[in-house]
A = this chain, B = another copy of it.
């Protein structure tokens, strides 16, 4: 296998190991471990969305970062970019089948964030109080 000696209690049958520096899965996790990519994928879950609509919906993302994220996701085969030669060009982004298989995992993350927010905040206040 990729690494040296079983640092993790993880099925050995798999050829990839996320803990290994050179493992390609790391590159995937680099991309997925990015809040903007997560938000974009989540936003595309049920809709076909245009560039500026994404920019408007995902508050705080810059045009530069959005175009980078979209380019990477497209390269990974997760999303589809479709450009229509209308007058101001129209570009639509949608999930490809591979992206659809991923969205479930992503969705559970964003859902977790929304449902467990209050517990996190409580823990943070406790922590901060204990440090002060």
A102 at the interface (CB under 8 A from B): yes
Instruction: Say whether chain A's binding surface is mostly helix, strand, loop, or mixed.
Output: helix
Is the beta-carbon distance between B108 and A105 smaller than 8 angstroms?
yes
Assembly stoichiometry (copies): 2
Which of B3, B29, B58 meets A53, CB within 8 Å?
B3
Report the count of interface residues on A (CB-CB < 8 A). 70
CB of B18 within 8 A of CB of A110, answer yes
Near B by CB (< 8 A), chain A positions 89-130 give 98, 101-102, 104-106, 108-117, 119-124, 126-128
* B60 engages A113 (CB within 8 Å): no
CB distance from A87 to the nearest CB of B (A): 15
In the complex formed, the residue of B with least CB distance to A131 is B75
Tell me the bound Cα distance from A46 to B10 in angstroms. 10
Asked if residues B9 and A47 are in contact (CB atoms below 8 Å), the reply is yes
Q: In chain B, what residue has the closest Cβ to A110?
A: B18
Q: Are B126 and A77 in contact (CB under 8 A)?
A: yes
Which of chain B's residues have a CB closer than 8 A to the CB of A14?
Answer: 114-115
Q: Is the pair A18, B2 in contact by a Cβ cutoff of 8 Å?
A: no
A25→B114 CA distance, assembly (Å): 6
